[in-house]
Amino acid sequence: MSYIDRFKVRPGSRLGLSEIDPAFKSHYEDEADAADEIKEFRKRLWTLQELLYVERKQSLLICLQAMDTGGKDGIINHVLGAMNPQGCRVAHFRQPSPEEAAHDFLWRAHLAAPARGEVVIFNRSHYEDVLVVRVHDLVPRKVWSKRYDRINEFERTLIDGGTHILKFYLHISKDEQLERFKARLDDPTKQWKISDADYQEREFWDEYTLAYEKVLSRCSTRRAPWFVIPANHKWFRDLAVGRIVVEHLEGLGLKYPKPTVNIARIRRKYHGLEKERKKK
């Protein structure tokens, strides 16, 4: 079974995150057991992204969502870091700026969407407006409840313009999150990442779980699917996301563009002259 089929949320299905094991690692024993496959998909990813970039007919949007410490930065560094940065960029969706807040909630997402040939990674995304705002009651229910349909329409608009969309929920357990918080406290290079607010958000774990389940059920569509990725094991998380991206890009029929000049004429004109000079 392909990784796309294994981890995709079926459109219209009712998903319970408690039914998915965040420590799942397939048939692999450990990271060393998967090392060769991880290396191989990273090489393949480089080639496929180059094809997307030079063909300039399609684009790819990757949305990353997770509880705190779920691994969004890890995916960007270890998996998507395999791509050429010339055709790849990251957009962060933090608390809206005054300018962003003065517009429709999808305005900033549309501004950050990829152009043809680009891969864009949303580190958090437009889904924050049906997650954080719901959990913390930042806008009335009658407002955020209408946003699922608007998000689906927005994604259809991007797809009709040639953008492919892959959305990943990085699924970790509450205990694993606590261990990662502790690791940050113990690592001087990561202490800047931790605050009281991170621990306070844990009090809303169940509320966030319900909000994510709603998102996954309402907004996983045939052309813009959600994938739930078991993420307790960082190496398996990287492997699963990387394989799904590779599988999807391989299905696009990407090709190097045909030359726009007469290759035979250029070869004769310049390389033929070169040979003549060498003879003299």
124-143 pLDDT, tens digit each: 999 999 999 999 999 999 99
Q: Are 129 and 65 in contact (CB under 8 A)?
A: no
12-53 pLDDT, tens digit each: 899 999 999 999 999 999 999 999 999 999 999 999 999 999
Q: Beta strands 88-92 and 119-123: pairing type?
A: parallel
Sign of the torsion angle spanned by Cα atoms 88, 160, 66, 9: negative
**pLDDT over 70 at 163, yes or no:** yes
Give the lowest-confidence range in 2-6, 222-226, 261-265.
261-265
Helix axes 147-160 and 205-219, enclosed angle (nearest 10): 50
**pLDDT over 60 at 210, yes or no:** yes
Residue 270 CB neighbour total at 10 angstroms = 10
Instruction: Name the CATH topology of 3-279.
Output: Rossmann fold (3.40.50)
Domain chopping of the chain, boundaries: 3-279
Residue 268: the pLDDT is: 86
Distance CA 277, CA 256 (A): 33
Q: Are 147 and 105 in contact (CB under 8 A)?
A: yes
Q: How far apart are the first and last CA of the chain?
A: 63
- The pTM of this model reads 0.94
Residue 70: the pLDDT is: 97
Residue 101: the pLDDT is: 92
Residue 4's H or E segment, with its range, is helix 3-7
Q: Are 149 and 157 in contact (CB under 8 A)?
A: no
Residue 272: the pLDDT is: 77
Give, in degrees to the nearest 5, the angle at Cα 75 between 50 and 217.
105
219-231 pLDDT, tens digit each: 999 999 999 999 9
